[in-house]
Amino acid sequence: MPIYLLPVIIVAFVLQSSFCKSFSDSCPGKEAQSTPVFAAAFGLSIGLASWAIGGFPLTFGLPTILCGIANGVALFLYNLSMIRAGQRGSYSFMMICMLFGGTISPLLHSVFFLNGSLKTAQWVGIALMCVAFVVMNLKGLNLKGSSRSYLLWCALLFVSNGAYTILNNQQQTMMQHTERSQMLLLAYGISGLIAVVYHLITRKGKMLSDYILPGRSILYLVISCATAILAANLLFYLFRFMDAPILYTIVNGGIIAGSVLYAFLFFKERPSKSQLVGILLALVSIVLLSI
């Protein structure tokens, strides 16, 4: 198994998230305009680039079409719920919902619908990673005064991220790990098209002017999309070598631990004791999942 690709995927996702934030920060006071622009560019670029990487295949199996369309909707709802939840309450709780959705959902789907099985050490590893998710986000975890709408958006974030992982796994299982580029084209391309329609409805005649961005914002957007293209394609490639629950658990844990280390190295943000404990738990979890 090309296990060396795992750190590449994790680093790519960490960089994608960092430059996504940089893009948002470079558009102060314009979140309502920049968010759909980013979602559209992000979805369409990953979809088309992945299709090109696969050699522009024109064969689409029915599972790929159905899962791809459903995943396009799930991706759009994921992006929307991430934005809406982030505007309304605790970032830490939002991240826990997102990470749990992307870890627990593929596990339950694999065990109950795909007859998957895990070793005892791997079950312990997944449970330990879930604990690590909570511990690493303890510092900002506060639900006091949270609105009902915030909790509903967090619930949608959990469901949409879980649906995304499940649909990817289902398509790859049914198609015997083929049509990866077609699946990415449909999922990300449709999410990008939905973002364009959403942008058109919400901004009407002002839509085109929103795409006039500063050079720095364009650079951040390009780098974020490029790293996401790399990460998404390598992640799908590893489906043939690793069970989805294990793969997603390692990647999700690596991303959150990597983000803490990235902030320390490049922004001098000293990690808290809880974050260091969480990173240690995540590393132990990865070792158990690799047994």
Which of 74, 85, 99 has the alpha carbon at shortest distance from 154? 85
Residue 141 has a pLDDT of 62
pLDDT of residue 131 exceeding 80:
yes
pLDDT value, residue 120: 85
DSSP state of 162: H
pLDDT number for residue 100: 85
Do 248 and 212 contact (CB within 8 A), yes or no?
Answer: no
* Confidence label for 182 from pLDDT (cuts 50, 70 and 90): very high
Q: What is the pLDDT of residue 29?
A: 56
Question: Is 77:184 a contact under the CB 8 Å cutoff?
Answer: no
C-alpha torsion sign, points 271, 254, 225, 230: positive
**pLDDT value at position 175?**
94
Given a contact cutoff of 8 angstroms between Cβ atoms, the answer to whether 235 and 251 are in contact is yes
CB neighbour class for 62 (10 Å; exposed up to 12, middle 13-18, buried from 19): exposed
**Unique residue bearing structure tokens 């505007």:** 87
Q: How far apart are CA 113 and CA 166, in angstroms?
A: 10
| Residue among 208, 212, 95 at smallest CA distance from 157 | 95
Q: Are 95 and 132 in contact (CB under 8 A)?
A: no
Kindly tell me if the per-residue pLDDT of 32 is higher than 80.
Answer: no
Confirm if 71 and 186 have CB atoms less than 8 A apart: yes
**pLDDT, tens only, 63-121:** 999 999 999 999 999 888 887 777 677 777 778 888 888 888 888 888 888 887 778 88
Least reliable range by pLDDT among 168-182, 186-200, 247-261 = 247-261
Per the prediction, the chain carries an average pLDDT of: 86
Whole-number pLDDT of residue 83 = 77
Which pLDDT score, from 0 to 100, does residue 223 have? 95
Please, which residues have CB within 8 angstroms of residue 108's CB and are 6 or more apart in sequence? none
Say which residues have a Cβ less than 8 Å from residue 35's Cβ, sequence separation at least 6: 24, 79, 83
End-to-end CA distance of the chain: 13
Two tokens, residue 18: 């960092």
Which residue did the predictor score with more confidence, 270 or 176? 176
Q: Greatest CA span in the chain, whole angstroms?
A: 57
